[in-house]
């Protein structure tokens, strides 16, 4: 069974045509991989479907805009994977 990171890295590689081996847990989806907001909608759709969750993108965006969070917390892929794991765990609780 692949890890959460592997799943999202594969989704990003396929959705955005980015070489899979250039995507690491430390990659920032926006700053390092150059993913824009429209492509991220496709990624979010694929993640939502793959994990059976609803990434709270609006809440995250609001937190970043309000200065309550940094983009690193949500868009560095190891952190994104951790957030997804939390959402999956909350769903099953």
> Which residues of this protein are in contact with other proteins, per CB under 8 A?
38, 41-42, 44-45, 48-49, 54-59, 61
Give least dist CB 50 to other proteins, A. 12
The total number of residues shown for the chain amounts to: 93
Return the exposure string of 65-79: e unless at least 16 CB atoms fall within 10 Å of the residue's CB, then b: eeeeeebeebbbbeb
Which is closer to other proteins, CB of 26 or CB of 86? 86
Which is closer to other proteins, CB of 25 or CB of 63? 63
Query: Does residue 35 contact residue 23 with C-beta atoms inside 8 Å?
Result: no
Which is closer to other proteins, CB of 24 or CB of 49? 49
């Amino acid at each position: 069974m692949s890890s959460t990171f592997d799943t999202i890295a594969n989704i990003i590689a396929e959705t955005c045509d980015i070489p899979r081996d250039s995507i690491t847990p430390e990659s920032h989806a926006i700053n390092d991989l150059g993913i824009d907001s429209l492509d991220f909608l496709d990624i979010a759709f694929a993640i939502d479907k793959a994990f059976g969750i609803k990434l709270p993108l609006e809440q995250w965006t609001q937190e970043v805009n309000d200065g309550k969070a940094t983009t690193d917390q949500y868009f560095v892929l190891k952190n994104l994977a951790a957030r997804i794991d939390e959402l999956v765990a909350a769903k099953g609780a």
